[in-house]
């Protein structure tokens, strides 16, 4: 080795260097000539990469910044071998992460980069991160501009994440993700989750005072596929501390204000005349609607000894420009019914509810809770309302006294155990509610404004003598303690839990002509267990026809099934131990993660799909960072959903999205291989909606990744990546993308 007079340049020959500190390194580079400049940059030529003593790759030269810590520099571009030598003439090249990283100071940095997909799109992005520890401020801001080359379409996406604590009682948090065109994002996305996802934003300011707390914030969501936007701003919640007047009286007021809006919501189609000279005499015009809903709620509950007096005032104002048609009874027209179509509708509700919960009785056994309430004359509407049918003027109904009672006892049954189970306990908890409210006349002006089509059964009179019944059941097992253990408490597990929703019957309604007392249209059951971590929920539509009328026929129809369960080695051991197939005892700890290593630097790197970014940030797979960790135990997550109604029974097999199953599986076939698979299958289309398949290989100081992705938008991607864990910029990439043309 030699150096110049100022020691600013150091030269060497036949040098070997590595980051592996073992006596016999797993890898090393061998260079014919090496030069170090100002202790900042190393340049070597020619260079051969060795894994142990086997030559793997020859490079004409390499250069590397050897400074420690964070500093400015050129980002390492990302491209694959097939981008240099195209495998086919139709293959479209792509290069990503062309840019520069600026380390502005200890608190702030900036990254600018560009991505290019031949014949598809070009993107320019910038991202800055900031963090002041002594100011309790941290966050990041990104900007991404995407322009499609095969059409005149652009999208600007802005993301902002911010956390700040002004003091111990005052905080501000923001998570903003906004895009001008969700269609551009969907067409150019290779992420199966992003292609059908939504962009969500939320911000909140929280302040705690000595007398209570204040929260002000809002949220916004943007559907990528449909362009629908939903936002709620502002959201104000004020929760004063409870006011105690001695030990006998407590007042706990509360206030909330919410303004929710929906934009570009699909509202059906409108038939219009075809263009003159066109091939269609009648054409369809898609309709979209916007709406706003503003709500104010004031709660003033008061406790007086063992008595609880609830008071609540709510105001709700709704405006929508969705076209709506009403069939209004009118004796002056032929047929007695006229059609009224409104391009804009509005409604304002004002409601006041009050009730008194009397002291509970038999709290240790039957748990009887009586109460008195002042209800509206009809439960179909609020106390006061105004809409287009009332001419914009408020109309109101009366009040009536109601008596309520609820009871929730628990009954137990015990059964002998079997195998490792000493005893099984079955608990049944019925939930019984009773309400009596005499019928009251509803003013005609109010009933016309509430139900102009005369389709609501209780719009004009609503007598109540209703009893409802729900049910909760639990089967629990007490396990035998290990042999020789006389001190520890026996372990208990939940074999099966069943929760059934309530059904209600109104005796006063049953006395009316052409009516029955049934008031519940659907019944839901939920099942869960600790043996196999799962939850099953099923819902039935009980009546064929309108519930509460004598023409309705009791005909349970399965409308919804939702279930999900997870299988792991611990699940199998638990079931086998319960059945006495294996002995219960301590289990070996899971194998350590042999794939761990330093995270990629500002240049990115590591496994991925073409270096795409979400809002300017580097994407990760659907299993998050570290999805390729070694030594992973087997796990399988299955979710199934099915939703349909009586109307679409005949064609449910041909409707997409009605029946879906999603699978997520992770396992390690060997000590150094890990695999991840996620997929969704649509029974309606009989096709897989998306796939994510990943294989990771631990190569000691290296990591190899094979990733295949198929998104719901039709885009495909295959990526092969092998990178050095100590320096992720030393890597080999092969990426192949196929974008579906709409």
For residue 238, what pLDDT is reported?
Answer: 95
Query: Residue 21 in 3-state DSSP?
Result: coil
State the average pLDDT over residues 363-390. Answer: 91
Banded pLDDT at 19 (limits 50, 70, 90): confident
Dihedral (Cα; 508, 511, 470, 408), 10-degree rounding: 40
How confident is residue 190, by pLDDT bands cut at 50, 70 and 90? low
Give the number of other CB atoms < 10 A from CB of residue 228.
17
Whether the pTM exceeds 0.85: the reply is no
Considering only CA atoms, which of 563, 533, 555 is closest in space to residue 642?
563
Report the alpha-carbon distance of residue 148 to residue 635 in Å, rounded.
Answer: 40
* Core vs surface per residue 494-509: b (16+ CB within 10 A) or e: ebebebbebbbbbebb
The fraction of the chain above a pLDDT of 70, given in percent, is 87
Peptide bond into 234 cis (omega under 30): yes
Distances (CA, A) of 38 to 43, 47, 342, 398: 12, 21, 77, 88
Contact yes or no for 154/147 (Cβ under 8 A): yes
- Examine the pLDDT at 201 and tell me if it is beyond 70: yes
- Beta strand extents in 152-276 (DSSP E only): 153-167, 170-179, 198-209, 212-223, 229-240, 243-245, 249-251, 254-273
**Whether residue 483 has pLDDT greater than 80:** no
Cα–Cα distance measured from residue 473 to residue 412, given in angstroms and rounded to the nearest whole number:
10
Q: What average pLDDT does this structure show over 644-670?
A: 77
Q: Which comes out higher in pLDDT, residue 186 or 583?
A: 186
**SS3 category, 83:** helix
- Whether the per-residue pLDDT at 350 is higher than 90: the answer is yes
Classify 81 as helix, strand or coil: helix
Residue 110 pLDDT: 94
pLDDT band with cut points at 50, 70 and 90 for residue 62: confident
Check pLDDT > 60 for residue 621: no
Nearest to 491, CA basis, from 480, 504, 505, 502: 480
Segments in 558-681 forming alpha helices (H): 569-578
User: According to DSSP H, which parts of 188-298 are helical?
Assistant: none
Q: Which of 575, 576, 619 has the alpha carbon at shortest distance from 600? A: 619
Q: How far apart are CA 174 and CA 433, in angstroms?
A: 43
Q: Where does the pLDDT of residue 609 fall: very low under 50, low under 70, confident under 90, or very high at 90 and above?
A: very low
Per-residue pLDDT tens digits for 678-723: 888 888 778 887 888 899 988 778 888 888 888 777 777 888 888 8
Q: With a cut of 80, say whether residue 365 has pLDDT above it.
A: yes
Residue 196: per-residue pLDDT = 59
> In this model, does residue 139 exceed pLDDT 80?
yes
Count of alpha carbons within 13 angstroms of residue 118, beta-carbon side: 14
d(CA 225, CA 199): 11
For 432-466, the pLDDT digits (tens) are 999 999 988 899 999 989 998 888 888 888 899 99
Contact (CB, 8 A) for 707 and 609: yes
Which pLDDT does position 654 carry in this prediction? 59
Q: What are phi and psi of 281, to 5 degrees?
A: -80, -30
Q: Which helix (H) or strand (E) holds 524?
A: strand 522-529
Q: How far is CA 445 from each of CA 15, 201, 318, rounded to the nearest angstrom?
A: 96, 43, 20
What is the distance between the alpha carbons of residues 303 and 310, in angstroms, rounded to a whole number? Answer: 8
Contact 312, 354 (CB under 8 A): yes
pLDDT band at 652 (very low <50, low <70, confident <90, very high): very low
CA 497 to chain centre: 26
Kindly state the greatest CA–CA separation across the chain. 110
Q: What is the mean pLDDT of residues 367-383?
A: 92
Sequence-distant (6+) residues with CB within 8 A of 54 are: none
Task: Flag whether pLDDT at 8 surpasses 80.
Answer: no
pLDDT exceeds cutoff 50 at 77: yes
> How confident is residue 617, by pLDDT bands cut at 50, 70 and 90?
very low
Residue in the structure block whose two tokens are 């195209």: 86
SS3 447: helix
Mean pLDDT in the chain? 83
**Any residues with CB less than 8 A from the CB of 88 and at least 6 apart, and which?**
none
- Residue 504's SS3 state is strand
pLDDT of 392 above 50: yes
Give me the count of residues in the chain: 742
Instruction: Report CA-CA distances (Å) from 346 to 268, 294, 396.
Output: 20, 12, 17
Given a contact cutoff of 8 angstroms between Cβ atoms, the answer to whether 450 and 349 are in contact is no
The pLDDT, as a whole number, for residue 534 is: 82
151 vs 137: CA distance, rounded Å: 41
- What is the distance between the terminal CA atoms of the chain, rounded to a whole angstrom? 62
Place of tokens 């287009």: 388
Tell me the two tokens of residue 721. Answer: 């990546």
Quickly state the pLDDT bin for 53 (edges 50, 70, 90): confident
Rounded distance between C-alpha atoms, residue 153 and residue 147, angstroms? 6
> How much of the chain exceeds pLDDT 90, in percent?
37
- Alpha carbon distance 41, 72 (integer Å): 13
Provide φ and ψ at 611, rounded to 5°: 65, 25
Domain ranges across the chain: 2-68, 388-553, 563-648+655-738
- Identify the pLDDT of residue 590: 42
């Amino acid at each position: 080795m030699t150096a110049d007079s100022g020691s600013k340049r150091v030269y060497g020959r036949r040098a070997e260097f590595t980051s592996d500190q073992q006596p016999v390194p797993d890898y090393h580079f061998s260079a014919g000539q090496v030069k170090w400049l100002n202790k900042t940059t190393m340049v070597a030529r020619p260079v051969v990469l060795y894994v142990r003593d086997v030559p793997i790759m020859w490079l004409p030269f390499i250069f590397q910044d050897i400074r420690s810590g964070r500093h400015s520099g050129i980002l390492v571009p990302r491209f694959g071998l097939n981008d240099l030598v195209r495998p086919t003439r139709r293959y479209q090249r792509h290069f990503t992460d062309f840019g520069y990283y600026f380390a502005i100071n200890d608190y702030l940095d900036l990254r600018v980069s560009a991505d290019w997909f031949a014949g598809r799109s070009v993107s320019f992005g910038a991202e800055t991160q900031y963090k002041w520890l002594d100011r309790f401020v941290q966050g990041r801001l990104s900007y991404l501009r995407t322009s499609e080359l095969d059409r005149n379409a652009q999208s600007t996406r802005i993301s902002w994440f911010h956390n700040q604590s002004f003091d111990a009682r005052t905080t501000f948090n923001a998570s903003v993700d906004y895009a001008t065109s969700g269609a551009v994002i969907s067409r150019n996305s290779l992420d199966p989750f992003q292609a059908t996802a939504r962009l969500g934003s939320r911000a909140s300011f929280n302040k705690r005072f000595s007398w209570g707390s204040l929260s002000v914030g809002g949220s916004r969501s943007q559907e990528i596929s449909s362009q629908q936007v939903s936002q709620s701003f502002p959201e104000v919640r004020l929760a004063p501390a409870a006011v105690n007047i001695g030990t006998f009286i407590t007042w706990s007021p509360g206030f909330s204000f919410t303004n929710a809006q929906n934009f570009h919501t699909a509202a059906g189609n409108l038939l219009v005349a075809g263009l003159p000279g066109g091939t269609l005499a009648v054409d369809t015009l898609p309709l979209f609607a916007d709406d706003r809903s503003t709500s104010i709620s004031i709660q003033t509950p008061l406790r007086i000894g063992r008595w609880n007096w609830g008071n609540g005032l709510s105001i709700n104002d709704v405006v929508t420009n969705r076209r709506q048609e009403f069939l209004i009874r009118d004796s002056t027209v032929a047929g007695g019914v006229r059609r009224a179509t409104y391009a804009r509708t509005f409604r304002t509700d004002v409601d006041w509810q009050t009730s008194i919960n009397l002291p509970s009785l038999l709290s240790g056994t039957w748990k009887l809770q009586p109460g008195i309430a002042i209800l509206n004359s009809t439960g179909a509407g609020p106390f006061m309302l105004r809409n287009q049918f009332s001419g914009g003027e408020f109309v109101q109904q009366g009040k009536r006294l109601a008596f309520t009672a609820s009871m929730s006892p628990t009954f137990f049954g015990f059964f002998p155990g079997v195998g490792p189970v000493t005893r099984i306990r079955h608990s049944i908890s019925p939930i019984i509610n009773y309400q009596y409210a005499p019928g009251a006349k509803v003013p005609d002006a109010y009933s016309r404004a509430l139900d102009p089509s005369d389709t609501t059964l209780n719009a004009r009179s609503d007598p109540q003598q209703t009893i409802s019944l729900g049910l909760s059941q639990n089967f629990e097992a007490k396990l035998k303690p290990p042999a020789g253990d006389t001190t520890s408490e026996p372990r208990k597990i939940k074999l099966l839990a069943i929760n059934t929703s309530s059904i209600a019957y109104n005796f006063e309604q049953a006395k009316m002509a052409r009516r029955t007392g049934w008031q519940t249209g659907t019944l839901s059951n939920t099942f869960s267990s600790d043996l196999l971590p799962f939850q099953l929920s099923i819902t039935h539509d009980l009546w064929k026809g309108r519930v509460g009328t004598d023409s309705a026929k009791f005909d349970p129809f399965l409308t919804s099934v939702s279930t999900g369960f997870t299988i792991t080695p611990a699940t199998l051991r638990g079931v086998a131990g319960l059945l006495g197939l294996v002995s219960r005892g301590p289990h070996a700890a899971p194998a350590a993660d042999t794939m761990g290593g330093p995270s990629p630097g500002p240049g990115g790197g590591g496994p991925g799909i073409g270096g795409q970014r979400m809002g300017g940030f580097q994407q990760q797979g659907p299993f998050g960072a570290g999805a390729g960790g070694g030594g992973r135990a087997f796990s399988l997550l299955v979710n199934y959903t099915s939703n349909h109604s009586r109307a679409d029974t005949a064609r449910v097999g041909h409707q997409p999205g009605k029946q879906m199953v999603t699978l997520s599986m992770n396992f390690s076939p060997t000590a150094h291989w890990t695999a991840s698979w996620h997929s969704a299958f649509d029974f309606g289309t009989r096709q897989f909606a998306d796939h994510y398949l990943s294989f990771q290989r631990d190569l000691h100081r290296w990591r190899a990744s094979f990733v295949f992705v198929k998104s719901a938008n039709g885009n495909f991607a295959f990526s092969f990546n092998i990178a050095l864990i100590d320096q992720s910029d030393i890597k080999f990439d092969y990426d192949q993308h196929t974008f579906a043309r709409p």
